[in-house]
Chains A and B, each alone.
Chain A
């Protein structure tokens, strides 16, 4: 595995994650080229989520090397996170806000100007078929609609890299199709 600066979205070499005496990720190496769709498959408990958490800077690596968009997420967390989108396994939408507010508040964390945020939010609602629900409080949405919003929210910063951890959980076949 060799590292090609500028060509790889993710570069992992001898990546290891330990929780105390338990090894969740054991010495793996892989690279994802820019523009590539990369699927990581494995049985439950194989360590897929642990890898995803390391990539998004949610979990410090125990050993090895990990570059995300050519940068070390632990020394350049803010820069890297500004350029990636994340859909976590568990929904973490803001249940106290409406659908539209969720997108706008999230855009605010990326320091998007107000008018850009609004434009993109409307675009995303349309794309995700959620325009009718813009004013609904998230708590009132069904599981599948929440999932669509989570997916849409991850696009608000126009990410160069999208990390999806079990993104289609709860989506109906129609939504799965349109989201490809």
Chain B
């Protein structure tokens, strides 16, 4: 444990960022993505599509209404957020870990004028890009189902962006602690799956037992879902601003940790 405690050393320092070089790190990942994007996009959006069919149309037959919405209307906007979440978290755990620990690409990069902070921020940006992209692809699917009711729906970019930055940060924190690939199983079983199941996508969090009803409030997915749903459906909901503030604050608060922890892990 002392080893991991050292990873936090100096988390308050001012990061050494060069935007131009950070972009070049991002660009390297983008270049690889563009080689395989077709297969990539298919897989990542097939799963939420299956959920939309199975739950929205299948289960939805038996659910009359939730808060005045049909089950499909209630469900679909949330799946935009979860599609983005899975894309980001897979990228910034398994794939970032591969680049960092197995392929040693980070090492190669920092032997050039690129700093470790540039590398980590480039990874965060790429995780964010991928999440937002997959969220938007699924948004188009949702639009085909006729569920997008307002042109303001395009503002979902804000919560999607913020949520995926936070998830990139959390994933990289875990990646910096991970001793091997197996440990990512814990990340997905203990954090991502519960968020997916209980974060307000499939049913309102108000129906959770009273003792644990407060828990989703601590997760980025819940706030993103609550912000995205009214935007997509064209409902006016004043609580949206509160959710956006939560996302902004947590984005800023979590950002220093992946920068410091990955750096401390690799530069010893």
Contacts and interface: CB of A to CB of B under 8 A. Distances in A.
B21 interface: yes
Contacts of B268: 19, 59
Interface stretch (A2-10, A26-34, A102-110): A102-110
A58 B110 contact: yes
A109 B113 contact: yes
Interface in B6-25: 16, 18, 20-21, 24
Interface string A42-80: 000000000000001111100000000000000001110
B112 A110 contact: yes
Given A106-B112, A109-B24, A88 B107 contact: yes
A77 B109 CA distance: 13
A92 B28 CA distance: 14
B105 A94 contact: yes
A93 B104 CA distance: 8
A78 B113 contact: yes
Nearest to A163: B111
B108 interface: yes
A78 B110 CA distance: 9
B27 to A, nearest CB: 7
Interface centre among A19, A60, A92 (most CB of B within 10 A): A92
A78 B115 contact: yes
B52 to A, nearest CB: 32
Given A58-B110, A81-B112, A109-B114, A92 B105 contact: yes
A111 interface: yes
A157 B112 CA distance: 9
A82 interface: yes
Contacts of A94: 28, 103, 105, 108
Interface centre among B24, B109, B112, B113 (most CB of A within 10 A): B112
A88 B31 contact: no
Nearest to B103: A95
A126 B242 CA distance: 60
Contacts of A93: 108
B107 A96 contact: no
B104 to A, nearest CB: 4
User: Could you tell me the dominant secondary structure of chain B's interface residues?
Assistant: helix
A4 to B, nearest CB: 26
Interface string A106-144: 101111000000000000000000000000000000000
Contacts of B109: 109
A171 interface: no
B24 A92 contact: no
B110 A105 contact: no
Given A58-B267, A108-B27, A81 B104 contact: no
A92 B104 contact: yes
B103 to A, nearest CB: 6
A101 B111 contact: no
Contacts of B104: 88, 90-92
A92 B108 contact: yes
A97 interface: yes
A163 to B, nearest CB: 9
Interface string B93-123: 0000000000111011111111100000000
B32 A108 contact: no
B106 to A, nearest CB: 8
A78 B105 CA distance: 18
7 contacts: A57-B110, A59-B267, A91-B104, A92-B104, A105-B31, A106-B112, A109-B21
Interface of A: 19, 56-60, 77-79, 81-82, 86, 88, 90-97, 101, 105-106, 108-111, 157
Interface of B: 16, 18, 20-21, 24, 27-28, 31-32, 35, 103-105, 107-115, 266-268
- 10 closest Cβ contacts across the A-B interface? A92-B104, A109-B112, A92-B108, A86-B111, A78-B113, A96-B32, A82-B113, A92-B107, A109-B114, A108-B24
